Amino acid sequence: MTWDKVDFIHVRTINTAGEVFELEMDDMSNQTYTTWAIPDQDQRCWVYNVKGAEPGAIIEEHYKITTSKILGVGGFWFQDRDPVVEASYTLDTPSDYVYKWKVKNIDITPEEKKHGSRITRIWRAKDVPPVIEEDGMVAPDDIVAQVKIANEYVAAFAKWPACRKIDSWEAMGRCWNEMIKERQVTCPAIDDTVAYIAKKAKDDIDKVRLVWRYMNENIRYVGLERGLAGFVPLSASVVCSKKYGDCKAVAGLITVLCRKLGLRADPILIGTRPQLGDLDTELPGPFHFNHSIARVEAGGKVFWLDATNRYSSFDTTPYADQGVHVIVAFPEKPFLDFVPVQPPEQNSSEAKVVFTPAADGSVEMEMERTTRGNTAMMLRSASYQYNAKQWRDMIDNTIASSYPQAKVLEQSYEGKENNDEPFVIRIKARIEKAMQPAGAGVSFQVKELFPSSAFDYFTLPKRHHPLDLGYLWTRKSRFEVVIPEGMDASGLPRNVTYDDDFVSVERLTQIEGNRVVTELKWKSKKLIIKPDEYPAAREAYLKVLDATSFVVLFQPAKKKS
C-alpha cells in the first residue's frame, strides 16, 4: 500500500546438493505491481533473480514491512504453488493494540510471548503441501493455508472519528459512511437528470431501469484508487458533471439519483467472489473489499447495480458480485447483507436450429439464439471487445466445436447497444458430409450449438478444491431436422428426463409434419460444488452432455400399396 516500506533482510537459495546462494541487492528490483497486465496505482513489488533454483531447491526469505499508516495488518499465506518447508509469521504489538485473528485451512496455534508493554504472537507452519491449481476452483483465499488479522484501529482512517474503532460490521459501515457522506451532494446536473428520469418513468422499477440506462450511456469508468482514494470516491456531482468515475464513485451517483427519485438506495462495499471468495464475517474491517456497487430497493425487489459493467440488464447481478456478504452504507444504521445467487432462469439461452439435408449429403443449418442475463452479458461484452474479424473467428470456432466441417455463410447479432434487450445471434452455415450412410438409409448427428463451457470443468476424475461454476443458467434448444425427400424417419432418439441436486435435463422428440423435432431443456442448480460432491455432480453433467448430442436415422420411404 501507499504507506508501506519493504526491507529485505535476507534472501537465499539452497539447492538439492546443499549449496547456498545468497542474493545481493543487485539481484533485486523494485517494480510497479501489476494485475491482469494493468499497473496498480499504489502498489510496488520486489522482483528478484533467483540463483541456484532447481526442482527441490529451497528459497528462503526474511523480510520486514514498515507501515507509517496501518490500513490492515492483513496476515500471511503459509501456502503457495510450491511446497513450503517452513514459514513463520510474527506479529509484535503493544499489549493494548486490539486485533482479531483467524487461522484458515491449516491447524496451527500461535506462540504468545509478553515482554513489558508488548505482546508477540508467532504462527509457524511446516511441510505445507503446494496448492494444486484447478480450472474453475474457488478463490484462493478460500483454500490457502493462512492467518488473517483484523485490527480495530485503522491508522490510515484516523481523521474520521467513526473509523477509530472498527469492532463490528456496523462500525465498518459507519466509518465508510463518514468518509463518503460529503461526496453525496447534489448539483444542477444531478437535478436535471432526476427531473428527466422522473418525467419518463412509469413506476419505481422503471426509475431503476432509467438510472441504469443513464449510467451506461453517459458515465465512463476510470479507476482512481491511490491511497485513501481506494475508499473515498469522487463526489456524485463531479461524476455527473464530468461523466467519469471509478466503481465507488459511480455507485455513489446511482445512490444520489435514486434517493432523489424517492427510492431507498445505498452504496455498498463488496469483495468479488472469484477474486476474494467468502467474507470472513468474524473479522470486521476494510480490507476484505475490492469493489463497490449500489443496492436499490424498488417495487418490492432489491437490485444490485454494478455500473462498471455496461453489458447486462439492470435486473441482472453480474456473476462476480453474487453469493457474497457486503457492507451496506445505510446512513441510519449500516449493516452486513448478502447478495443472493440469482436463479438459473435469470441467465437463459434459447435456440432454434433448423437442419435441412441436401442431395449431396451436406446439411444447411440456420440458428437463432436468444440470450439473457449473464449469458447475454458474456456475448455482449465480446461484441464490444472484438473487432469484426475476431468476432467472425469466435463464431467460426464455436460452430466448429460442434461441427468441425461446418462453414459459416452468414452471421449477425442484435441487442449490443441496448442491454435491456436480449442479445440475439443468427447464423447460417453449411455442414459438409453431414449425412452418413446407415444401411439403406442415412443418419445425421444433432449436436447442441454453442455448447456449455461448464462441461470442461468435469473432465477431472476428482477435485481437491470446491468448484465455482460462475453463475446458474438455463438452456433451451429446439432442433428441427427436415426429413430428406423420399425418406421416412426410422430411428428417433430416446426421450430423456433426469433431475438431481446439480442439474435437471429433459429431451423429448416427435415428428411434426416433415420434420423430426427435439426439444432439449436443461439447467444448472448448484453454484459451488464441494470436492466430496464432485463425483456425483460429474456424473450428472456427463448425463447432460450425453443428452446434448443424438442421432436421427432415415430410411427410404415405403411404397404405399
* Residue type, position 354, single letter: V
Number of neighbours of residue 193 by Cβ within 10 angstroms = 21
Domain boundary among 325, 340, 355: 340
Reading the block at residue 394, the C-alpha cell is 469466435
Provide the 3-class DSSP secondary structure of residue 392: helix
Q: Is residue 156 part of a domain?
A: no
Average pLDDT over residues 512-534: 98
What are the pLDDT digits (tens) for 491-503?
Answer: 899 999 999 999 9
pLDDT at 365: 98
Lowest mean pLDDT among 10-19, 428-437, 459-468: 10-19
| Dihedral sign (CA 454, 455, 459, 461) | positive
Query: Does 480 share its domain with 470?
Result: yes
pLDDT higher than 80, residue 213:
yes
Query: Does 386 share its domain with 491?
Result: yes
Determine contact, residues 148/101, Cβ cutoff 8 Å: yes
Q: Is residue 470 part of a domain?
A: yes
- Name the burial class of residue 545, with classes exposed (0-12), middle (13-18) and buried (19+) by CB atoms within 10 angstroms of its CB: middle
Query: Does 274 share its domain with 334?
Result: yes
pLDDT above 90 coverage of the chain, percent: 82
pLDDT higher than 70, residue 35:
no
- Name the burial class of residue 309, with classes exposed (0-12), middle (13-18) and buried (19+) by CB atoms within 10 angstroms of its CB: buried
pLDDT higher than 60, residue 40:
no
Q: Is residue 359 part of a domain?
A: yes
Q: Is residue 196 part of a domain?
A: yes
Reading the block at residue 322, the C-alpha cell is 453474487
CATH number, domain at 418?
2.60.120.1130
pLDDT higher than 70, residue 373:
yes
| Dihedral sign (CA 162, 167, 169, 170) | negative
Number of neighbours of residue 534 by Cβ within 10 angstroms = 21
Query: Does 196 share its domain with 128?
Result: no
Cα separation of the two ends of the chain = 88
What are the pLDDT digits (tens) for 292-310?
Answer: 999 999 999 999 999 999 8
Residue 96 per-residue DSSP state: T
Average pLDDT over residues 508-526: 98
Query: Does 62 share its domain with 74?
Result: no
Domain boundary among 282, 314, 340: 340
Work out the pLDDT band at 328, boundaries 50, 70, 90: very high
Q: Is residue 216 part of a domain?
A: yes
Query: Does 185 share its domain with 329?
Result: yes
Rounded Cα distance between 505 and 519, Å, is 11
Rounded Cα distance between 244 and 405, Å, is 47
pLDDT higher than 70, residue 100:
yes
CATH number, domain at 311?
3.10.620.30
pLDDT at 382: 96
Q: Is residue 222 part of a domain?
A: yes
Query: Does 389 share its domain with 259?
Result: no
pLDDT higher than 70, residue 561:
no
Determine contact, residues 556/376, Cβ cutoff 8 Å: no
pLDDT higher than 70, residue 459:
yes
Query: Does 259 share its domain with 292?
Result: yes
Determine contact, residues 47/129, Cβ cutoff 8 Å: no
Residue-range definition of the domain harbouring residue 170 = 161-340
What are the pLDDT digits (tens) for 404-447?
Answer: 999 999 999 999 999 999 999 999 999 999 999 999 999 999 99
Query: Does 74 share its domain with 181?
Result: no
pLDDT at 386: 96
Residue 322 per-residue DSSP state: S
Rg (CA), the chain: 29
pLDDT above 70 coverage of the chain, percent: 96
More confident site: 339 or 30: 339
What are the pLDDT digits (tens) for 251-263?
Answer: 999 999 999 999 9
Work out the pLDDT band at 46, boundaries 50, 70, 90: confident
Query: Does 349 share its domain with 331?
Result: no
Q: Is residue 26 part of a domain?
A: yes
Lowest mean pLDDT among 65-69, 354-358, 410-414: 65-69
More confident site: 16 or 303: 303
Lowest mean pLDDT among 27-31, 88-92, 256-260, 351-355: 27-31
* Residue type, position 6, single letter: V
- Which stretches within 181-280 are classed as H helix? 188-200, 204-218, 236-242, 247-260, 273-276
Query: Does 209 share its domain with 235?
Result: yes
Predicted TM-score (pTM) of this structure? 0.89
pLDDT at 48: 80
Q: Is residue 561 part of a domain?
A: no
Between the CA of residue 99 and those of 70, 102, 350, what are the distances in Å? 12, 10, 52
pLDDT at 41: 52
pLDDT at 56: 84
Mean of all residue pLDDT scores within the chain: 93
pLDDT higher than 90, residue 37:
no
CATH number, domain at 128?
2.60.40.3140
Q: Name the residue with cell 483467524.
A: 102
Q: How many structural domains comprise the chain?
A: 4
Determine contact, residues 289/166, Cβ cutoff 8 Å: no
Domain boundary among 49, 67, 85: 67
pLDDT at 83: 92
Reading the block at residue 389, the C-alpha cell is 474479424
Work out the pLDDT band at 66, boundaries 50, 70, 90: confident
pLDDT at 318: 97
Query: Does 237 share its domain with 372?
Result: no
